[in-house]
Amino acid sequence: KKVLKNVSFVFLLLKMCFILGQEPVTQKRIVIDVGHGGKDSGAIGLNGIKENDVVLGIAKEICILNKMIFKGRYDIYLTRYDDRFIPLSDRSRLAKSLNACMFVSLHCNASTNNSRGMEVYTLNSFSEDSEPNIKKSIALGTEILGEAKLHLKIEDRGMKFANFQVLRETIGHCPAILVELGFLTNSDESAYFLETSNVKATALAILLGMDNYLKIQL
């Protein structure tokens, strides 16, 4: 049986020795959409862990790591900073009003079987306005999946396509992806997100993926 292993947060930080030696990247504005919240808890794991809590913890860690490791290289905004419900249209509207360079929506998955792993979605509907950002979204999602597979040893379920509202309403403005971090209905992955070190490691993998993508775009 393939079991998700705890990851040493310190080991992941070693990669920073190389990254911090590079030329600084011009500050970009990023919107992290923290899925669910308030009256909408999202998926509930076998151990009672809630999706809205998991994604909020990871989003906050991304902000902390950006300041701690990258010295605030990126201007990161969250769609929510506590347990409250934010309408989907307001999440997309925030990215547009802030002129964000990317929109990353964080979620956790659920299934009726023992599914596991991380997958990333972008919009499934191509148009003249959306096509350039869909291609960029695929590149962004691929970078995040690569960092997660390399450092978290989580199964890579690949890039997928869907007509999610937050993607549909944002893709015309900037690259937009929805990250399903793992399955809370899987006993290994639900237990994984209970560990603070794993929350930090997941946040760092996402931050590194975003950083890789933005360097490619320069």
Per-residue pLDDT of the chain (218 residues; tens, 9 = 90+): 455 555 445 555 555 555 554 545 458 999 999 999 999 999 999 899 999 999 999 999 999 999 999 999 999 999 999 999 999 999 999 999 999 999 999 999 999 998 999 999 999 987 777 889 999 999 999 999 999 999 998 999 999 999 999 999 999 999 999 999 999 999 999 999 999 999 999 999 999 999 999 998 86
> How far apart are alpha carbons 70 and 66 in whole angstroms?
5
> How far apart are alpha carbons 139 and 157 in whole angstroms?
15
Angle at the Cα of 215 from the Cα atoms of 213 and 217, rounded to 5 degrees: 75
Contacts of 11 (CB under 8 A, 6+ apart): 151
pTM reported for the whole predicted model:
0.89
* Distance between first and last Cα of the chain: 42
